[in-house]
């Protein structure tokens, strides 16, 4: 059978728009924990990260859930946690999502009722718990784990590793994700990625950022650090893809044309 070498044209935005944020409502946090009624959401995030960040990630990474099949009308699901190092992620998940997202379904309050804790004589503890199923449609389920992990830990290095085929070198790691600081470093980084990775790898990571953006829009994630990181990642990966494909006009448009003289001249040097 003859193979078809068809070409698919993909149109992508130069920048990713941000939704109009409704803002995190204090009463939403107070409904989960009354002691947080007067605490700003950003402080709640920092408190949760400092108290539970890495330990809750170890717990979440050990979670095993039976698959849900189409047509299954179950309203609860059994969850098995094999590395139970912190509080069950029920109450924590309520707080984390409520402190970041202004568009959420109505979530039942986390409860440990009926939970079964088993120990095997070592440091490992296993937890079996039944949780309610809350329907909520996300446009990119595969990238939700990346988003949730950052919400728990606020670990930018971990986020960088998820978004890029290679992490930024130490000398440019800080400036690469500040859209107003040293944009020429972003251009250098885009060239490095374009030189070292294939079109397929670049598109894979570009689509990962795009999926993350779609989830953040639907959930209305209200966190400036996360959005700045996403903006810079999109700029770098989109420019790297244009450079890899030899799309001169697209590359010039991405850096803002001659209005951004420094980046424009640097790009011209790369394009030859």
Q: pLDDT for 55-71, tens place per residue?
A: 666 766 666 666 666 66
Angle (CA) 73 78 84, round 5°:
155
Bridge partner residues of 116 (DSSP) = 128
- Quick: pLDDT tens for 76-110: 777 777 766 555 556 677 788 888 998 887 766 55
Q: Where are the domains of the chain?
A: 26-132, 141-271
Checking if the pLDDT of 232 tops 50, the result is yes
Specify the higher pLDDT residue, 67 or 48: 48
CB 29 within 8 A of CB 98: yes
> Phi-psi bin for 191: left (phi > 0), alpha (psi -120 to 50), beta?
alpha
Q: How far apart are CA 172 and CA 35, in angstroms?
A: 40
Phi and psi, residue 117, nearest 5°: -105, 125
Q: How far apart are CA 20 and CA 26, in angstroms?
A: 18
Q: And the tokens for 138?
A: 């996300």
Q: How far apart are CA 146 and CA 215, in angstroms?
A: 11
- Give the pLDDT band of residue 174 (cuts 50, 70, 90): very low
Specify the higher pLDDT residue, 218 or 25: 218
């Amino acid at each position: 059978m003859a193979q078809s070498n068809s070409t698919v044209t993909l149109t992508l935005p130069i920048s990713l728009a941000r939704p109009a944020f409704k803002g995190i409502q204090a009463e939403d946090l107070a409904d989960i924990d009354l002691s947080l009624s007067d605490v700003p959401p950003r402080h709640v995030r920092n408190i949760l990260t400092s108290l539970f960040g890495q330990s809750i990630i170890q717990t979440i990474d050990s979670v095993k859930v039976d698959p849900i099949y189409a047509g299954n009308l179950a309203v609860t699901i059994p969850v098995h946690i094999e590395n139970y190092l912190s509080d069950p992620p029920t109450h924590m998940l309520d707080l984390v999502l409520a402190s970041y997202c202004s568009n959420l379904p109505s979530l039942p309050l986390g409860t440990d009722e009926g939970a079964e804790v088993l120990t095997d004589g070592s440091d490992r503890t296993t937890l079996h718990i039944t949780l309610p199923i809350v329907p909520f449609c996300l446009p990119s389920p595969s990238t939700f784990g990346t988003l949730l992990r950052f919400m728990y830990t606020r670990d930018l290095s971990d986020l960088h590793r998820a978004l890029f085929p290679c992490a930024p070198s130490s000398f440019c790691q800080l400036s690469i994700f500040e859209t107003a600081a040293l944009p020429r470093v972003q251009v250098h980084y885009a060239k490095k990625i374009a030189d070292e990775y294939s079109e397929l790898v670049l598109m894979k990571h570009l689509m990962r950022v795009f999926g993350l953006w779609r989830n953040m829009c639907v959930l209305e994630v209200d966190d400036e650090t996360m959005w700045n990181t996403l903006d810079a990642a999109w700029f770098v990966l989109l420019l790297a893809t244009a450079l890899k494909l030899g799309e001169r006009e697209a590359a010039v448009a991405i850096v803002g044309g001659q209005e951004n003289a420094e980046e424009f001249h640097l790009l011209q040097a790369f394009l030859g």
